[in-house]
């Protein structure tokens, strides 16, 4: 499965909109977007001593947005994730978490009970169906990710405020337990902002039919645009259609932003691969989805092998590969 993350370099855009702006007439919001880095993965000692040109490998990169939640408002920082539906916040303080949401002090916090229709109908697109927590009789949700991380807690309603736009009764996960493959990254954020096509996603609940984001190639700044906007200085854009299928397949994510990968070019050479290599199989495995929460591009085995071999062939005189 391939996860494509587009980094757009709109320097003028960033200079004009480095603050939060809102336009009530068409409900367009601009918010600062931050790119944060975790640690580096160092080369082995033997490889480091032999290499004359080394690339720093940032393996913990996240895009974050700041907003307020609850009454009175609490500041939170959330990871922007176009590959997820459910937005959630850490609700239990632990030694490795610097920022958590405290529902006990919010007057607008309302947990969802097991017998609520919301628990049964609104969670239909989640990978794991909601269940009933026998300890507190609340609607229980659990989410897992490709890096083996997982998080679970209870579904709840709360006021989410972003820019000048407030969404009362926003449905989110108030998470109190889980496993993280990267505790350093988790310690810097309060939760995750799900942005896919599902009915529970942040953009769906906030009522924004369109959104976009841009990241500077020179520093850690960026901007998240919620809603539509037209600018006279912005040139004509190219668009790629998103794919939808009606038939349910076990490994196909129907609420993901899926595009059709047509081919891969290394230098000036197009890889000699059949079109079927880029099409999901009968189970749905192999879709190409845009996922801002994934740091790498993942490819199916045959496609990855062809890409790797061609890259090594073209760079064998200038690069030395360290496994």
Count CB atoms within 10 A of the CB of residue 276: 8
Q: Write down the catalytic residue from 133, 186, 253, 291.
A: 291
Residue 123 burial class via C-beta count within 10 angstroms: exposed 0-12, middle 13-18, buried 19 and up = buried
**Annotated catalytic residue 272:** no
Q: Do residues 171 and 118 touch, judged by C-beta distance below 8 A?
A: yes
Residues near 60 by Cβ (< 8 Å), separated by ≥ 6? 37, 38, 39, 182, 184, 185, 295
Q: Is the peptide bond before 72 cis (omega within 30 degrees of 0)?
A: yes
Q: Write down the catalytic residue from 81, 133, 186, 253.
A: 81
**Annotated catalytic residue 291:** yes
Residues near 285 by Cβ (< 8 Å), separated by ≥ 6? 1, 251, 252, 300
Note the Cα 218 to chain centre separation in Å.
Answer: 21
Catalytic positions? 81, 291
């Amino acid at each position: 499965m391939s996860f494509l993350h587009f980094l757009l370099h709109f320097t003028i855009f960033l200079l004009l909109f480095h603050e939060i702006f809102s336009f009530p007439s068409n409900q367009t919001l601009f918010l600062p977007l931050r790119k944060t880095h975790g640690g580096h993965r160092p080369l082995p000692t033997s490889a480091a001593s032999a290499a004359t040109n080394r690339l720093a490998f940032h393996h913990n990169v996240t895009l974050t947005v700041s907003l307020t939640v609850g009454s009175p408002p609490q500041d939170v920082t959330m990871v922007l994730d176009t590959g997820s539906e459910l937005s959630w916040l850490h609700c239990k303080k632990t030694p490795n978490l610097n920022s958590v949401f405290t529902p006990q002090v919010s007057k607008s916090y309302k947990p969802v009970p097991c017998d609520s229709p919301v628990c049964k109908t609104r969670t239909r697109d989640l990978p794991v169906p909601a269940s009933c927590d026998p300890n507190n009789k609340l609607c229980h949700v659990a989410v897992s990710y490709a890096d083996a991380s997982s998080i679970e807690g209870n579904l709840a309603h709360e006021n989410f405020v972003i820019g000048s736009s407030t969404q009362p009764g926003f449905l989110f996960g108030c998470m109190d337990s889980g496993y993280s493959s990267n505790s350093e990254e988790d310690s810097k954020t309060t939760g995750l902002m799900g942005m896919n096509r599902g009915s529970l996603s942040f953009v769906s609940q906030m009522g924004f039919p369109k959104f976009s984001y841009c990241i500077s190639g020179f520093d850690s700044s960026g901007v998240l645009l919620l809603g539509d906007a037209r600018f006279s200085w912005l040139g004509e854009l190219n668009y790629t259609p998103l794919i939808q299928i009606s038939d349910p397949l076990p490994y196909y994510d129907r609420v993901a932003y899926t595009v059709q990968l047509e081919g891969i070019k290394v230098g000036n050479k197009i890889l000699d691969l059949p079109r079927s290599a880029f099409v999901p199989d009968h189970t749905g495995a192999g879709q190409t989805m845009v996922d801002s929460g994934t740091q790498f591009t993942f490819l199916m085995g045959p496609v990855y092998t062809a890409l790797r071999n061609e890259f090594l062939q073209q760079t064998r005189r200038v690069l030395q590969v360290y496994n």
